[in-house]
Amino acid sequence: MSSMKIRRIALLMLVFPVTNIANAAEIYNQDGNKLDLYGKIDVRNHIGKSKSGGDDSKVRIGIKGSTEISDNLTGFGQFEWETMVNKTEDNNIDKNRLAYVGINHKYLGSIDYGRNYGVLYHIDGWIDVLPIFWDDGISMPDNYMNDRNRNLLTYRNNNLFGYIDGLNIALQYQGKNTDNNKSGVSTAKQNNGDGYGLSVIYNTDFGLNFGGSYSNSHNVNNDTVNYYANGKRAETWSIGAKYNANNVYLASTYIETRNTTPFGSTNTNIAPKTETFEIVTQYTFDYGLKPSLAYILD
């Protein structure tokens, strides 16, 4: 078996603002210290024959802060938490989504460490505007640098030290992880070896962005999961483009992985190769209605 392919078409979705309430507030801003609180109440119900249907409501809350260290240096951090509210009070699922700190230099760029988004999400996140049915096959948490994960050290540089406006570069290193970083057998998607990644994005001044990303990690799952291919490296690369202006949002991405993507009911298999093509378009009416049309090929 050389590749795994699943074809899906996302239906036209109408998203009303009353079903997804999000807000942010500045709670402190004085003497170079700033603190913002944000949150989201997402109430939804999936109607269909699938076992995954039904109530899928959740609440998300986060806090972002920064402090001026000197004229050119600023410290920053972010923490984000999510709680599912579709179960009993004793059994709701809590998720630590983000937790990182960093330092930013006005001219040299920034560096941060903690639980953050991987560089592959810098491109694939352009499709993460759908309420449901976006690319769950590639961007899943705690799977290398494809989405949110821990033990990430990231350097970011905007405008290439002031020489090229709109050119943003991110370099990332991820240390080895096992489930909870403790001994014992973990599921495939919770393990990774040391790895590195890169993303390059160019932003125009008329709403068009395009770029690509790449990651390469040591594969530590050979002895703990059932492999269809036993590659020593887990690789992912992506390219994409998006347009966001005049109430129109249009984005498309292509992503390819090697020995990276888990599948099966218990995530105990790793696909030797996956390919994903996604395209989404949205239009936001002045009164808040936002219809979405998407095509996803996994």
Residues 220-259 have pLDDT tens digits of 765 555 556 567 888 999 999 999 999 999 999 999 998 8
* Range in 44-53, 66-75, 169-178, 218-227 the model is least confident about: 218-227
Q: Which one is predicted more confidently, 24 or 167?
A: 167
- Residue 77 — pLDDT band, cuts 50, 70, 90? very high
Quick check: 60 pLDDT over 60? yes
- Residue 8 — pLDDT band, cuts 50, 70, 90? very low
Quick check: 39 pLDDT over 80? yes
Amino acid type, 190: Q
pLDDT at 227: 54
25 touches 38 (CB < 8 A): yes
- Residue 188 — pLDDT band, cuts 50, 70, 90? low
What token pair was written down for 13?
A: 């979705």
pLDDT at 31: 86
Separation between Cα atoms, residue 274 and residue 257, nearest integer Å: 5
Average pLDDT estimate for 282-290: 89
pLDDT at 43: 81
Is this prediction's pTM over 0.75?
yes
Q: What's the DSSP call for residue 141?
A: T
Average pLDDT estimate for 268-273: 78
> Is residue 52 packed enough to be buried (19+ CB in 10 Å), middle (13-18) or exposed (0-12)?
exposed
Q: Which one is predicted more confidently, 66 or 136?
A: 66
pLDDT at 9: 45
pLDDT at 7: 47
Residues 132-166 have pLDDT tens digits of 765 555 678 888 999 999 999 999 999 888 889 99
- Residue 184 — pLDDT band, cuts 50, 70, 90? very low
Separation between Cα atoms, residue 185 and residue 220, nearest integer Å: 11
List all residues 6 or more positions away from 76 whose beta carbon is below 8 Å from its beta carbon: 64, 65, 66, 67, 101, 102, 103, 104, 110, 112
pLDDT at 20: 57
Tell me the range of 80-94, 232-246, 267-281 where mean pLDDT is highest: 232-246
The set of long-range contacts for 19-24, using a CB threshold of 8 Å and a minimum separation of 24, is: 19/43, 19/44, 20/44, 20/131
pLDDT at 226: 52
Q: How far apart are the first and last CA of the chain?
A: 16
Q: Which one is predicted more confidently, 125 or 221?
A: 125
Separation between Cα atoms, residue 141 and residue 127, nearest integer Å: 16
Q: Which one is predicted more confidently, 70 or 263?
A: 70
What token pair was written down for 44?
A: 């939804």
Q: Which one is predicted more confidently, 178 or 225?
A: 178
Amino acid type, 156: R
Quick check: 2 pLDDT over 60? no
Region class of 247: left (phi > 0), else alpha (psi between -120 and 50), else beta: left
Sheet holding 262-263, edge to edge: 226-227, 269-270, 262-263
